[in-house]
Structure 1
Amino acid sequence: MTSETWNPLSTAPPFPAVRYASIADRIAKVLGTRNDVLLIQAEAVVALEAVATSLARPGLKVLNIVTSPYGLWFGNWLRRGGADVIELAAEPARPIDVEAVERALNAHPDMKVLALCHAESASCILNPMEDILALARARGIVTIVDAVASVGGHDLNVDELGVDIAIIGPQKSLAGPAGLSALSVSSAAWQLISREGGPTGSILSLLDQKIWLDAGRGTLPGTTAPLEFFALEAALDRLEAEGLASVIARHGRAARATHAGLIALGAEPWVKPEKGSHLVTAVELSEAADPKALLAAAAPLGMEFSIGVGPGANRLIRLNHTGLRARFDIVLGNVTAYGIGLRRLGFKADIAAAVEAIALHYGD
């Protein structure tokens, strides 16, 4: 093959099968778990659907906590398999209340599974995962946590918290590829998954994925995606070089600085810092402002804004400080660009005060 025809995107070498187990072990360390870790060759929504599909059976009672459209999808996948789903929805685009969860569990003492999302990128909120998991653990309930938008940005120790299934994607705080995902599975979760009637012969079957574990973690099921695995390995290299604690702290600082900058600007962040995501910060526009017009006004400045997703989030503007963006220049650019966009629409924005507030968070 000549140098003129060789291209790393189309002629990449196969990813060595002996390194799949190493990747799984490195992800287990990120999650703080000794549970089994499966590698899913698809974006994390496929892993979420596989979990629901593999668990769902007639007679299985699940408390499904809904704080975004993804939670609704999860409930639908469970019902498709015959599960008895009790849906507990938060106020639109708001975190769930622990008291509401406790009431639901008390009303249904035969609950077997609880599912929730840790952080929501759709509305930039953070659910009180630790308190909810404590309620479930005290009742012997198997727990499922969608940690796609929290792993690497928030503390997440699977074994200490008692998470039975944690689903992650490396494309957010870990700054990795979007085409792969992973999940950890406890022995209690495997017992539910392994009951008679579970799906097999399907990409959505965790029992089929488990063949990789049972066979000694050699070749993965299906045709592997070398570029995605090389990218994931590079992301884990970068994470380990910086240190997981430092990556989490960097995201926390970016969130706090963004929140302070927005307040100084004269804007109102959607939730208080303790109830907000460390990856994306939401700010609510006044009724007099058009979200699309704001995006258009700020677009020439080259910063990443987007409108919130789902009920209650249509007037939220999301400022992205995820992964490699969780740093001073991006936070500063996000908030100042938002302020300039407001000014271009005729609204007041104290950009100088915002700059000073952000600088204080990075002054050391």
Structure 2
Amino acid sequence: MSRFDFHLLLDPPRYPTDRFAPLADRIKRLLATQADVVFVQAEAMLALEAVATSIARPGLVALNVVTSPYGTWFGTWLRRGGATVHQVSAAPGQPIDAADVSACLDGLPQVDIVAAVHAESSNGALNPLAELAALARSRGVLFVVDAVASVGGHPIDFDVHGIDIAVMGAQKALAGPAGVSAVAVSARAWTHIAAAPDYAPSSLSLAELKHGWIERGRLALPGTPAPLEFWALEAALDRVDAEGIEQVIARHQQAARASRAGLRALGIEPWIAHDAAASALVTSAPVPAGVDANVLIADAARLGVELMPGFGDIEGRIVRLNHTGMHAAFDTVLANVTAYGAALERQGVSVDIGAAARAVSDAYAGV
């Protein structure tokens, strides 16, 4: 295979001012919303920090759902802004139980914000978005969703669920660039943000993005937009539109079903036992007792397959089978499952690789 000529990335044409608003509208369609969408010219971690900074202030109370380090960091940013944060944490590498969130809400005399990640790429958990949204709506509080990994892997209906703020990135299921992200903001959320201190000029100010872009007719973005990132985002959305967002989601769902079927045929139960609680982005597989996760990953790498390590409190306890974006395909899923099985076999774990390969094939054949 020929080496990519990275010099081709130099001197890109300027991204035209009149293309930003249509690009934002395309993201609105992905999120099924009429809410405003603003661009954050950075990886989605900065967009999440900008949201927390823009909504937090002394006197507010937040219920923060933690199912990975991302949720922990969001709570830290809310506290930094002066909010009182009550944390509801799931078991390591597992999704949250909505009943635990409901119980916490019932025990608090005041709640202003509920925040949660939708689908976790760090451990494969899928939080119950509809149930969490209903709990937030029933109490009339602001509902904030980290949808960075889930857009394109799971359906998201921003308006129907009554989400107030959602952060998305293109680098996961949409297989786009990592250097630009977007935030959907409801009218109620803008009202909330307007009541908080504004630290503009700041990269962490959603209010500044509203003043500098939306209120000026969605023309030139503040700052100096990176043309490569916006051209790449447009190209990624073109590819999504050509395939159809419903098919992109279905492709991820099929990859997850096939991966889980393959693991079970190996003789290994997925880390997240319930299919409905598992993300379509990655499938987490356990590292058996007595097996070193790093050795398992290295053995799979010798077969040309990248198994990803666990992240956060499950590091060393799982490996992640990646079927995100363009990896949500039969060849990748089959390679992931069989390489994981072969690596286990090298460590003395009894598995049935042939049965796993058949299970993946059957899942794709609809058997």
TM-score band w.r.t. shorter chain: over 0.9
* Aligned residue in 1 for 2:91: 91
Are the equivalent residues in 2 in contact too, given 1:93–1:313 (CA < 8 A)?
Answer: no
Give 1:312 deviation, angstroms.
3.1
Number of equivalences: 360
- Structure 2 CA distance for aligned equivalents of residues 112 and 229 of structure 1: 34
Deviates more, 1:273-282 or 1:91-100: 91-100
Aligned equivalents of 2:305, 2:168: Cα separation in 1: 26
Contact 2:179 2:229 in 1 (8 A): yes
Mind listing any 5+ residue stretches in structure 1 that lack a counterpart? Answer: 1-5
Kindly provide the CA deviation profile for residues 169-214 of structure 1, in whole angstroms up to 9, marking residues without a partner as x: 0000000000010010001111111115232110000011112000
Which residue is equivalent to 1:251? 252
- Asked whether the 8 Å contact 1:115–1:144 carries over to 2, the reply is yes
Q: 1:292 and 1:196, CA in 2 relative to 1: closer, same or farther beyond 3 A? A: closer
Q: For residue 52 of structure 2, what is the amino acid of its counterpart?
A: A
Q: Per-residue displacement from partner, 1:276-306 (whole Å, max 9, x unpaired)? A: 1101000111111110111111112222211
Equivalent residue, structure 1, for 2:3 = none
Aligned to 1:113: 113
CA distance, structure 1, for counterparts of residue 194 and residue 324 of structure 2? 36
| Partner SS, residue 279 of structure 2 | coil
Shift of 1:140: 0.7
Amino acid at match of 1:68: S
- TM-score after normalising by structure 1: 0.97
**Counterparts of residues 314-329 of structure 1 (less than 5 Å):** 314-329=316-331
CA distance in 1, matches of 2:132, 2:12: 45
Check conservation: 2:252, 2:323, Cα contact below 8 A: yes
Deviations 1:217-255 (A, max 9, x none): 111111110011111000000000110110000000000
Aligned-residue identity in percent: 53
> What pairs with 1:47-86 in structure 2 (closer than 5 Å)?
47-86=47-86
Do the aligned partners of 1:295 and 1:305 also contact (CA within 8 Å) in 2?
Answer: yes
Write the distance in 2 (CA, Å) between the matches of 1:192 and 1:8.
44
Q: Name the CA distance, whole Å, in 2 between partners of 1:181 and 1:361.
A: 34
Other structure's SS at 1:38 match: strand
> What is the root-mean-square deviation in Å for CA atoms of aligned residues?
1.3
2:122 is matched with 122
Deviations 1:74-117 (A, max 9, x none): 11111111111111111122111111111111111421110000
Give the match for residue 219 of structure 1.
Answer: 220
Residue 362 of structure 2 is matched in structure 1 by: 360
Alpha-carbon separation, structure 2, partners of 1:177 and 1:109: 42
Give SS of 2:25's match. helix
Question: Please, which moves more after superposition, 85-94 or 208-217?
Answer: 85-94
- Do the aligned partners of 2:55 and 2:196 also contact (CA within 8 Å) in 1? no
Alignment partner of 2:302 out of 300, 303, 307: 300
Equivalent in the alignment of 2:229: 228
Q: What is the one-letter code of the residue matched to 1:34?
A: Q
Please show how residues 233-312 of structure 1 align to structure 2 within 5 Å. Answer: 233-271=234-272, 272-312=274-314
TM-score (norm: length of structure 2): 0.96
